[in-house]
Amino acid sequence: MPRPMRIRLLRAPSLSRISFSFIVHSLSLSKAPLGVRAVGKGAPIVGLTILVDPESGRPNVWQYLGGCWIVDKRGVLRGGEWSVHADKSHGARHWIFAGGMLTLLAIVTRMATYGHPDLHVDEAFYFAAGVEVAQGAVPFVDVWDRKPPGHFMLFAALAMISNCFVTYQIAATLFAAATAIAIYTIARRLVSPWQASLGGVIYLLSICLFHGQGGQSPIFYNLFMASAAAALLAASTALNRRRGQALVAAAMLLAGIAITIKTTAVFEAIWFGIFAALLQVRSSGLGAVSLRRIIGWIVLGALPTLLFAAWYAASGYWDEYWTAMVLSNLRKPVEETGNLSRLAILVMMLLPLLAASSVAMVRIAGLEKGFFAGWLAAAVIGFVSVPAFYLHYTLPLLVPLCALTPVALGLPRLGATLLGTAAVTPALFYSFFDFADTRKAQAAMTVLLEAVERSEGDGPVLIYHGPPLLYTLSGTKFPTPLAFPNHLHSAAERNVSHIDTLSEVRRLLALDPATIVDRKTAATNTQTATLVRSYARENCRVLASEPMMKGWDIEVVVHGDCKAPAPK
């Protein structure tokens, strides 16, 4: 007699318009030893004990605990999973509607920023660097930053489409929409379609609150992590079939690509690998086949990084690569001020999502519960691994939180309150339709650009502390690999690269720059600030001064018509 299997079952959404795909063959109560009772459609079933010959079903059925089992009034046991429907056209309609709605919402929530030239100094530099790389610059050699090479390649690909910076903003919109759709796909395993769509909606609203209204790196790599998570969960019910193995392989490769865009994604990628390995061992034991598969998945996850590393080693740039990827992160000091206050603010802003996800974790069980617990823990580790706690550092956390929180709607009043608060909070603290700010920034950038272009002199343009997009807009090449202004003016960035910062600034000033762009604000690297500002004061005149930097309105000054200093 087959061994009884106890399966915890979740409340099904309304079955009036949902057709479940069969995980096992339909079994009549009169033909199989099933210790069950007949219930109406949609009724909750918890702790049901089922006696079924394992050979009559698929091998992985007993490992799938996150779906549901339904016994209809005719006494037929049917198995189903939320994300797959027997009625393909009906499931496709749900997906098309959700995808279209989320894409439209992504456009609406971000369209006011299209054309804004200074949303954030980071992303402005990313695109300017992408233009340089598209024109032949080698990351870490000709243009330096700690971002992995995949990040440079992504923005270089966008620059190849067009060197107009709006390109990256449109691409970021498409990536954000696709990530929201992936979140919807994950949540569909747990809740009904309309509830799952709320996860995508809250994601699109929340990323704007956390400085993700533009092209910060998580806006791009979140798509790869969300897609990897969706693929892993889909593979969990078919691990020993070709489809399941292909999905796991795709998940590992997607996670590996994410690591080449942002290094901190490695923690989530490691958890995805552990989860896949646990599924494999649970399914087939720790034999030779399982070991081969697990090793193959590790190789796939590491492959994108290994390919980049091999190229740099073969090209003679290993020292630059190793310094950027490893040593620079060890050299950079932890910021001493503001960390805890920023962390407290972030936690307060995340409270509705944190509360809803806590409720959701109580309500789910089995495979999904373990997966989400590990995913959230890995995302938190990635978050605290760089303890500066700026708003955009929170963006990776939003993917697992938004995929999980719709489950809280199982408690209608509490869940609706928490998700409603999470959806409304961004509108209270972020202006989604601030077209005036974009027009103001465009006008200011035009004034600065005209000043740079009319500045006379044969020397280079040096942006010491200002919008790096001026390099691209003026058609000027980077005069230094340290073109990201923070590398020149911030004490925290002093000598973290393979280039000595003070020596590099002296070299730049020896080129007799014709134009220097600076901000009217303190620079923490006092050594370089003294040199650059003394040069500008003694040899240049002010051609323009405009407030820039979204949310701060700090004056950007163009010192132009610089004359070469008299020889000493």
Alpha helices in 285-389 (DSSP H): 288-314, 318-322, 328-331, 339-363, 366-384
Helices and strands, counts by H and E, the chain: 20, 9
Query: Confidence class of residue 435 from pLDDT cuts 50, 70 and 90?
Result: very high
What tokens appear for 33 in the block? 């030893």
Q: Are 513 and 526 in contact (CB under 8 A)?
A: no
Strand partners, 556: 519, 546
What tokens appear for 553 in the block? 């309105």
Average pLDDT over residues 424-434: 94
pTM of the model: 0.85
Burial code (b: 16+ CB inside 10 Å, e: under 16) for 428-447 equals eebebeeeebbebbeebbeb
Q: Which residue has the tokens 């040899």?
A: 539
Residue 327 CB coordination number (10 Å):
14
pLDDT in tens, 442-486: 999 999 999 999 999 889 999 999 999 999 999 999 999 999 999
Residue 495 has pLDDT above 80, yes or no: yes
Residues 6 or more apart in contact with residue 426 via CB below 8 angstroms = 205, 206, 208, 209, 432
Strand partners, 7: 48
Average pLDDT over residues 137-147: 97
Q: Which residue has the tokens 């939320």?
A: 82
Query: Confidence class of residue 553 from pLDDT cuts 50, 70 and 90?
Result: confident
What tokens appear for 330 in the block? 């060890």
Query: Confidence class of residue 240 from pLDDT cuts 50, 70 and 90?
Result: confident
Measured distance CA(68)–CA(46) in Å, rounded: 10
Give me Rg for the CA atoms of the chain.
27
Strand partners, 517: 463, 558
Residue 36 has pLDDT above 90, yes or no: no
Q: Between these two residues, 53 and 103, which has the higher pLDDT value?
A: 103
